[in-house]
Structure 1
């Protein structure tokens, strides 16, 4: 469940809320990479501090805390847990923005590399080698000494004419 900005403002002190407010959308888009890295470090530190505080209180509630520590006194941890979640959500937003920036930088670097490679390729002279001797390396084929049974071109039409005349004679006999 997410918390509203009003809830964040209510849970955090003024000096804690100012960096968390920068983790919301309009302000987050205007931050540089270095500012984002500083904000990530601060948010991780705050989240870790509140996480340790909540863990100490939970240990005290189970009766495992050292007797002389302030965590041994029973106290509510709900506010600290909510603060920890506010910092965790802010850290998630900032990390997502930082990942987007890093991905954009990586894409730009890759694009520049690709464009440089394409420019190098276009500057080089074209290389069109000779196709060379493409004959097969195996043994040469041997002609069939019998030859193929192929009807000569001058006979093709005469055979058809002879068949037509023979058929006409048969048809005249039958009728």
Structure 2
């Protein structure tokens, strides 16, 4: 659940509010890489501390542990909201770090042009024949219903011999 700016100011102390405010979308883009790493580290430390306090308060409410203060805590809603707000801010920092890493990994225009040229040359090489010799040419298609003319051991041998002996 996202909290409004007023609710965040109420839940977070001054130092935490400054950290969370630096993770807003327009501001985080201007933060240098080194400061982004420090920001993530500080947010993580404060989030872990808030989680630990919320866990302790929850145990005190259930009666599982002795109270740290003189009176057992009555609820951990504010501490839980603080941990959630710090978690959301930490996710924004992680997303920004991932975005910057992806931007660095993008190939340059020069490498993309070289890759395209290599693909084009490879495609043209596949379309050219491997040698300059001709093929066997057209292949005859044998008609299985045609009579075997001129064959001496087949039907029609007598008529073929008769035709060849006499002039027309």
TM-score, length basis structure 1 = 0.62
State the match for 2:131 in structure 1. Answer: 131
State the match for 2:162 in structure 1. Answer: none
State the match for 1:84 in structure 2. Answer: 83
Deviation at 1:63, TM superposition (A): 2.0
Deviation at 1:134, TM superposition (A): 5.2
Task: Render the CA deviation track for 1:114-140: whole Å, top value 9, x for unaligned.
Answer: 455568899xxx98785244546xxx9
Q: Tell me how large the CA RMSD over aligned residues is.
A: 3.5
2:13 and 2:53 map into 1 onto residues whose CA distance is 17
State the match for 1:70 in structure 2. Answer: 68
After superposition, the Cα gap between the structure-2 partners of 1:59 and 1:146, relative to the gap in structure 1 and judged at 3 Å, is same
Q: Give the alignment of 1:96-175 within 5 angstroms.
A: 96-107=95-106, 109=107, 113-115=111-113, 117=115, 131-133=131-133, 135=135, 146=149
1:34 and 1:112 map into 2 onto residues whose CA distance is 29
User: For this pair of structures, how many residues does the alignment match?
Assistant: 140
State the match for 2:39 in structure 1. Answer: 39
TM-score, length basis structure 2 = 0.64
Task: Render the CA deviation track for 1:27-61: whole Å, top value 9, x for unaligned.
Answer: 11211222222211211111111111111111222
Q: Which runs of 4+ in 1 moved over 6 A?
A: 119-122, 126-129
Structure 1 residue 25 corresponds to structure 2 residue 25: yes
